[in-house]
Chains A and B, each alone.
Chain A
């Protein structure tokens, strides 16, 4: 019974990592950059949803839509202001800019919302937990896992069936060739950021519904874990991010439950190192040959 309980908790935590990891992996796949500000977009999304629920008295669904729209705009703005001018710069310059952006967002949040942690209202999503015999499953966990499945199916369909999705895959495969075929690369990258940031808002809401403490650093640790998950699954691969995220969550919870709570995080990163030693491109990553 406790095993099932842990499994569900692991899947729920892993689903959150997976949704965040999608943001990292999509941006990396298409723009070839690590957007370290992604974790902080999650935090902003959660704060906007918090404001919607707590201050503006919006119904939950509307508050979440507002948070998603806000994050979409934020993602496009960040890309346009900070990353687009650096499109031809070295990857190191872009990486440092992304880290700078991460701190900028954290400090702006600190200025606006202050340092006192806020408790994310969860009553709407978490009215009661579902009881199955001795097993108690929180509604937040179920919603998180379902949301993850829906997002995965939606994204797969989007990238394989729609014109915009195909354009994204083209840019990811060969930016120069895509441009020659008449694909607007800048617009495609903006679109990627828009989708990634909207997913970040969803991830932020789900994260804070399960673990309802909201502060300016809320996004950092999940951001790092999700980045790990993306690398674990093979960065650039959408199913890889899903698999990596879920495995990471399950390993973390099982490691804590059956080995030691003190070593929970150490186990997660040890597994990452082993996987990367055996499969350097990650679980589902395609090994890439450098063209000479």
Chain B
């Protein structure tokens, strides 16, 4: 009888302990790393804010996980990103959402590969970011996907056949997209009539734009960030040259440059999985929360990062991560989990393969009257 009571007591005790565990939310420590200052601050601030919106939502919903977000600044600099990464780990981060831009992400991801730390980058799209690193996964397309998808979009929608390409040959982001664009373009019958390069310091684009014009290009493909793109648009306007300018995700943000004459960007097309004016209820909800909290309309980077947090939570749940899991343990568990999950986010329905590259269908938006529209 005594034994029976003891057993019953033990059972009750065990049950209470269990239920206590089940009810108390597990705290995940996630670090966001991105350029909060410096030349690419626009992107880093967007990914930081996008992540914050997702974290607020998840914490308010009170599910299995509670998230503590740590924010670190890498200034879009390959040396400073390592400091930011170390600071994040010192602050107790178990996994990292970041980094925002390609070059710093290559450096930090490689360090994370050695230390066994899991990275999910919302927006670093170069292949070098995931190459030879099993610990890094992407939310956005890889560059090959962007270049090839742009060529595919241009060919399928019959935007034109004579294409000029202007790219930054000092930047892996730019050259990566250019390579696959040219390859896929040749396959689909696009004729590259002019191909010109520039570097980070270039401000004069008269020659590059002049050659595209001279060659009679109907489409000018611009695989680059928005700063040089804005100079190219200005130069083309000076020369009365009006082709279709087709950009990739780096073009996103051109409308928010202070003082930029948005009429220059009229008709510019860009590959993007996210348009803030979309009527999809999930997108509209995110945009509203973002606007209420930060007083501005989110760009694609913010949406990628918002999805990134949900992806991390889905993977953490699949992998059974707890508050005690160390970054090293979490890394192996998350790598295994990523290949099994499928996440329906605001930037599309996503799955991942071994390489860390995401699979989703690309879409292109057009700038009309200073806003993006899907056609």
Q: Which residues from chain A sit less than 8 Å from chain B, CB to CB?
A: 2, 5-6, 9, 13, 50, 54, 110, 114-123, 126, 129, 131, 136, 138, 140, 207, 210-215, 221-222, 252-253, 256-257, 261-262, 264-265
Contacts and interface: CB of A to CB of B under 8 A. Distances in A.
22 contacts: A5-B206, A9-B204, A9-B207, A54-B259, A114-B41, A115-B37, A116-B257, A117-B39, A117-B257, A118-B258, A119-B230, A121-B259, A123-B261, A129-B240, A136-B240, A140-B238, A212-B234, A213-B227, A221-B201, A253-B207, A256-B207, A265-B201
Contacts of B237: 129
A115 B39 contact: yes
B259 A261 contact: no
Interface string B61-73: 0000000000000
B257 A119 contact: yes
A119 B258 contact: yes
A221 B203 contact: yes
Contacts of A212: 230-231, 234, 259
Contacts of B16: none
Interface string B185-224: 0000000000011110101101110110010000000000
B314 interface: no
B41 A211 contact: no
Contacts of A252: 204
Given A116-B41, A119-B230, A129-B240, A262 B197 contact: yes
B374 to A, nearest CB: 26
Interface residues on B, range: 20 to 34
Contacts of A265: 199, 201
A11 to B, nearest CB: 11
B113 to A, nearest CB: 29
Contacts of B206: 5-6, 9, 13, 253
B38 interface: yes
Central interface residue in A5, A6, A261, by most chain B CB within 10 Å: A261
Contacts of A116: 41-42, 257-258
Interface of B: 37-39, 41-42, 169, 196-199, 201, 203-204, 206-208, 210-211, 214, 227, 230-231, 234, 237-240, 257-261
Contact of A253 (B41, B204, B234, B257): B204
A130 to B, nearest CB: 10
Nearest to B225: A117
B295 to A, nearest CB: 16
Contacts of B196: 261
B227 A117 contact: yes
Contact of A115 (B38, B208, B240): B38
A202 B214 CA distance: 33
A167 B288 CA distance: 67
Contacts of A213: 203, 227, 230-231
B257 A118 contact: yes
A146 to B, nearest CB: 17
Nearest to B199: A265
A60 B201 CA distance: 28
B204 A13 contact: yes
A269 to B, nearest CB: 13
Contacts of A207: 203
Contact of A126 (B39, B169, B211, B238): B238
B198 A261 contact: yes
B239 A211 contact: no
B238 A211 contact: no
A227 to B, nearest CB: 14
A131 B240 contact: yes
A131 B203 CA distance: 23
A115 B207 contact: no
Given A213-B227, A213-B230, A262-B169, A119 B261 contact: yes
Contact of A5 (B41, B208, B210): B210
Contacts of B211: 257
A116 B231 CA distance: 15
B41 A120 contact: no
A261 B42 CA distance: 29
Given A117-B39, A261-B208, 5 more contacts: A123-B261, A136-B238, A211-B204, A212-B234, A221-B203
Contacts of B199: 265
A206 B117 CA distance: 49
Contact of B214 (A2, A110, A221): A2
Nearest to B264: A119
Given A138-B238, A212-B230, A213-B203, A2 B257 contact: no
